[in-house]
A and B are shown apart, each in its own frame.
Chain A
């Protein structure tokens, strides 16, 4: 157990729908990062939150959004889903240091 909890582990939904992925960071970690892993794009950084505020943005589509709540858990919202959004979505958390961070086990999203 890495200490980073992601729910749900698996999600199957239809095109056009909206889903919410949840991440609870490791205790004491203020930063949360979201990554997408797909066969064609590899591991792509989506967005980072630090203590409730957006800190950095990567290749996140406009249909996707995220937020970090006062208890530091984060949610990634994916809307108007397309088949190409099928991927593994990882959350990672860290303290404010350069020493890498801890990944959750991911949410596998399948859009049918």
Chain B
């Protein structure tokens, strides 16, 4: 069974500082990997995804993540935090298996606070 671990339920950074949100997965084969963001009282929005190919993935709003198979990690970074980045971030994985069985397994989420 797949699992996702997000280290740090709360991360606080200053505006302009580097954002690093950690995600490690456990899976028998490398899964598809995703980062979603959830703003208060809203649904989940896809930030970026890794399916195949280049291991450094760029997403929306200046975020990027690097798939490291040897470390089973998919950490999310942004060089310079903006106040509008304050939200909850979820790492998720889905199976490469049966076509169409794409249920996501989510991590527990990391709440990002950005201090002025």
A residues touching B (Cβ–Cβ < 8 Å)? 2, 4, 31, 33, 35, 42-43, 45, 48, 50, 55-56, 58, 90, 92, 94, 96-106
Determine the distance from Cα of A84 to Cα of B54 in the docked complex, in whole angstroms: 43
| Option from B32, B101, B108 in Cβ contact (under 8 Å) with A42 | B108
Whether B43 pairs with A33 at a CB distance below 8 angstroms is no
Interface string of B5-34 (1 = CB under 8 A from A): 000000000000000000000000000101
Interface string of B84-116 (1 = CB under 8 A from A): 000000100010100111111111110000000
Chain A residues touching B, majority SS:
strand
Known: A99-B49, A99-B51. A31 touches B44 (CB 8 A): no
Determine the distance from Cα of A90 to Cα of B109 in the docked complex, in whole angstroms: 16
How many whole Å from A89's CB to the nearest CB in chain B?
Answer: 11
Determine the distance from Cα of A48 to Cα of B101 in the docked complex, in whole angstroms: 8
Whether B106 pairs with A42 at a CB distance below 8 angstroms is yes
- Count, chain B residues at interface, CB 8 A: 24
Known pairs A90-B44, A96-B100, A99-B51 / 20 extra A-B pairs, C-beta < 8 Å: A2-B43, A2-B45, A31-B102, A33-B102, A33-B103, A35-B104, A42-B108, A42-B109, A43-B106, A43-B109, A56-B103, A98-B96, A100-B32, A100-B34, A100-B49, A101-B102, A102-B46, A103-B45, A105-B42, A105-B43
Residue of A nearest to B105 (CB): A45
Whether B43 pairs with A103 at a CB distance below 8 angstroms is yes
Residues on B with C-beta less than 8 A from A90 are: 43-44
Most buried by B among A2, A96, A97, A100: A100
| Option from B43, B105, B106 in Cβ contact (under 8 Å) with A104 | B43
How many whole Å from B87's CB to the nearest CB in chain A?
Answer: 14
| Option from B44, B99, B103, B108 in Cβ contact (under 8 Å) with A103 | B44
How many whole Å from B37's CB to the nearest CB in chain A?
Answer: 11
Whether B51 pairs with A45 at a CB distance below 8 angstroms is no
How many whole Å from A12's CB to the nearest CB in chain B?
Answer: 16
Question: Can you spell out 21 A-B residue pairs with CB atoms less than 8 angstroms apart?
Answer: A2-B43, A2-B45, A33-B102, A33-B103, A33-B104, A42-B107, A42-B109, A43-B109, A45-B103, A48-B101, A92-B44, A94-B102, A96-B100, A98-B51, A98-B102, A100-B34, A102-B46, A103-B36, A103-B43, A103-B45, A104-B43
